[in-house]
């Protein structure tokens, strides 16, 4: 019969993907395999001679643990055995590589408080050293996540980010400092991480994660940690993790609340089991629109780092099948059970999503184009420079500001303030026949307001593209950005 050897174990089986053995039972077959390749033995079996917890053996398509006779189940020549290392119980790539590495005296000193923990020890520290973790984003979540993973001795950290450090990032993205404003986040993050632990190899991906590049970027990593703040990328990360069988250590944050889980393990649910479809655009504001308490991504990023380290070590109980909810105002942690959905379009029994798609479109966002959109959902988009030109020309435009009063107090451009939620009640304050330019902070809420007004008979509505933030950048830098 044939035994399929998974990639991480092939170095110990003469690099073969399939090994042929003659056997009467599953146990016979494994014994024949390990006598042919003695090095495999310690990877498959514990010192007590038991199959390691992170190794699953399948006879054809059935896990042998669910067979009546388990390891003693009879086999035929036409059967095949597959060895499937379970990612949820430990990172097998790290395990395999860890066995051939050693800690230097400098590392022994650096990690001494880990080495004296029985759950980590030298074996665990070597697993961390061999592990390759990919972090999507070097922002609020990515900052504590990468800093703690680097400090803990994770050997290879990949980071995907194309952003530049802005002053408004500094209240939460503690990996960047004041002097880093204007630098690429990747470069600033690399400097900080190298300062924490020069042993860590940093792999920088200065690009936007996309359907085109995700699978090839993911290929060289064992675990993916999602620190993104937008739905298209979150669905992309999830689907790419499921398709490439990498656990997705997830967290997200909003204002004072956060959530975390571990998705896309072999047995657990994925993000789409929880949320098969994204919310319609505009329904859930981003951090840029809704604000975020500075320490919140710190807490959630550290929860992510903890889960990553547990997966690498194969210790504890990962957040698989559980959604952790963190409410920092009440300082309450709750937990919801998550089930793997057999009808899930990506990880279900009959998946319909078998390759990566256009996630911008999936999330209902207009396609990206080089030219700024001039009309979105029937609403004309006005550039800040155009509004300035028309104001200067004396045009009688009415500027409607749909932000909150506390935002208005920080910065304003002379608009009439009606917060978005008050608009239905206070619509009477507006003249339906006038040209109205609606603005908010970055353009999301004002687009909703403009659509609402258009549905209510307002004829000449514009949305200020990019909001007051774009106004500050393109027209008047004295208007504070917040």
Of 60-68, 101-109, 337-345, 387-395, the window that binds Zn ion (rule: CB under 5 A) is: 337-345
Q: Closer to Zn ion by CB, 247 or 415: give it.
A: 247
Catalytic residue of the set 135, 270, 273, 287: 287
**Residue length, the chain?**
482
> If residue 228 lies in a helix (H) or strand (E), which one and from where to where?
none
440 is catalytic: yes
Report CA-CA distances (Å) from 271 to 251, 320, 347.
11, 11, 10
Q: Closer to Zn ion by CB, 91 or 344: give it.
A: 344
How far is the C-alpha of 89 from the C-alpha of 94, rounded, in Å?
12
Report CA-CA distances (Å) from 442 to 66, 89, 402.
54, 43, 11
Q: Radius of gyration (Cα) for the chain, nearest Å?
A: 27
Of 38-46, 59-67, 104-112, 346-354, the window that binds Zn ion (rule: CB under 5 A) is: 346-354
Q: Closer to Zn ion by CB, 339 or 459: give it.
A: 339
Please state the closest distance from residue 45 (CB atom) to Zn ion, in A.
32
287 is catalytic: yes
Among 241, 273, 453, 470, indicate the residue that binds Zn ion (CB under 5 A). 273
Of 178-186, 196-204, 243-251, 265-273, the window that binds Zn ion (rule: CB under 5 A) is: 265-273
| Long-range pairs, 450-458, Cβ under 8 A, ≥24 | 450/379, 451/377, 451/378, 451/379, 452/423, 452/424, 453/423, 453/427, 454/378, 454/379, 456/427, 456/432, 457/432, 458/430, 458/432
Please state the closest distance from residue 249 (CB atom) to Zn ion, in A.
16
State how beta strands 18-20 and 62-63 pair.
unpaired
Q: Closer to Zn ion by CB, 238 or 469: give it.
A: 238
Please state the closest distance from residue 399 (CB atom) to Zn ion, in A.
45
Q: Closer to Zn ion by CB, 266 or 289: give it.
A: 266
How far is the C-alpha of 115 from the C-alpha of 112, rounded, in Å?
5
Of 76-84, 217-225, 288-296, 339-347, the window that binds Zn ion (rule: CB under 5 A) is: 339-347
- List all residues 6 or more positions away from 222 whose beta carbon is below 8 Å from its beta carbon: 87, 91, 93, 94, 131, 132, 133, 246, 312
Please state the closest distance from residue 135 (CB atom) to Zn ion, in A.
22
Q: How many residues bind Zn ion (CB under 5 A)?
A: 5
Please state the closest distance from residue 83 (CB atom) to Zn ion, in A.
24
Rounded (10°) angle between helices 185-196 and 142-152 = 30
Residue 344 interacts with Zn ion (CB under 5 A): yes or no: yes
Phi, psi of 350 (to 5 degrees): -125, 75
Catalytic residue of the set 270, 344, 347, 440: 440
Contact 105, 91 (CB under 8 A): no
The tally of CA atoms less than 13 A away on the side-chain side of residue 268 is: 28
Please state the closest distance from residue 252 (CB atom) to Zn ion, in A.
17
How far is the C-alpha of 140 from the C-alpha of 228, rounded, in Å?
9
Residue 338 interacts with Zn ion (CB under 5 A): yes or no: no
Among 98, 270, 299, 411, indicate the residue that binds Zn ion (CB under 5 A). 270
Residue 200 interacts with Zn ion (CB under 5 A): yes or no: no
Q: Closer to Zn ion by CB, 192 or 248: give it.
A: 248
Residue 272 interacts with Zn ion (CB under 5 A): yes or no: yes
Please state the closest distance from residue 260 (CB atom) to Zn ion, in A.
17
Residue 296 interacts with Zn ion (CB under 5 A): yes or no: no
Phi, psi of 41 (to 5 degrees): -55, -45
Among 347, 382, 420, 468, indicate the residue that binds Zn ion (CB under 5 A). 347
Nearest to 230, CA basis, from 210, 256, 257: 210
Residues engaged in binding Zn ion (CB under 5 A):
270, 272-273, 344, 347
Provide the annotated active-site residues.
287, 440
């Amino acid at each position: 019969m044939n035994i399929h050897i998974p990639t991480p174990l092939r170095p110990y089986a003469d690099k073969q993907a399939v090994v042929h053995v003659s056997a009467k039972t599953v146990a016979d077959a494994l014994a024949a395999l390990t006598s042919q390749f003695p090095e495999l033995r310690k990877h498959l079996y514990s010192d007590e001679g038991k199959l390691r917890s992170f190794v699953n053996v399948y006879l054809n398509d059935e896990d042998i643990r669910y067979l009546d006779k388990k390891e003693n189940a009879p086999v035929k020549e036409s059967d095949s055995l597959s060895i499937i290392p379970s990612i949820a119980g430990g990172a097998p790539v790290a395990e395999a590589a860890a066995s051939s590495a050693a800690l230097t005296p400098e590392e022994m000193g650096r990690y001494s408080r880990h080495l004296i923990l029985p759950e980590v020890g030298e074996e665990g520290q070597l697993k961390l050293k061999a592990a390759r973790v990919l972090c999507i984003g070097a922002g609020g979540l990515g900052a504590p996540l990468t800093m703690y993973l680097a400090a803990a001795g994770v050997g290879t950290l990949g980071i995907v980010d194309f952003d530049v450090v802005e002053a408004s990032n500094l209240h939460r993205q503690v990996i960047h400092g004041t002097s880093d404003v204007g630098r690429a986040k990747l470069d600033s993050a690399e400097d900080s991480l190298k300062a924490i632990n020069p042993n860590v190899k940093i792999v920088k991906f200065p690009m936007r994660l996309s359907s085109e590049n995700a699978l090839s970027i993911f290929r060289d990593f064992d675990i993916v940690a999602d620190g993104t703040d937008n739905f298209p990328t979150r669905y992309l990360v999830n689907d790419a993790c499921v398709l490439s069988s990498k656990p997705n250590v997830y967290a997200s944050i909003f204002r004072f609340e956060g959530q975390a889980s571990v998705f896309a393990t072999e047995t657990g649910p994925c993000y789409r089991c929880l949320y098969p479809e994204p919310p319609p655009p505009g329904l859930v504001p981003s951090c840029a629109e809704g604000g975020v308490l500075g320490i919140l991504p710190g807490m959630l990023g550290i929860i992510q780092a903890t889960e990553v380290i547990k997966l690498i070590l194969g210790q504890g109980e990962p957040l698989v099948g559980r959604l952790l909810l963190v409410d920092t105002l009440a300082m309450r942690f709750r937990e919801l059970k998550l089930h793997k959905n057999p009808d899930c379009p990506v990880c279900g029994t009959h998946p319909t999503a078998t390759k990566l798609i256009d996630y911008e479109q999936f999330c209902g966002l207009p396609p990206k184009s080089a030219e700024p959109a001039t009309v979105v959902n029937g609403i004309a988009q006005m550039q800040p420079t155009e509004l300035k030109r028309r104001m200067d020309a004396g045009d009688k435009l009415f500027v409607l500001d749909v932000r909150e009063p506390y935002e208005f107090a920080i910065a304003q451009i002379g608009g009439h303030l009606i917060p978005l939620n008050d608009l239905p009640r206070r619509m009477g304050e507006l003249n339906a026949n006038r040209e109205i330019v609606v603005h908010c902070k970055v353009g999301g809420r004002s687009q909703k307001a403009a659509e609402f007004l258009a549905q209510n008979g307002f004829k000449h509505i514009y949305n200020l593209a990019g909001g007051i933030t774009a106004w500050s950048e393109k027209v008047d830098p004295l208007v504070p950005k917040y």
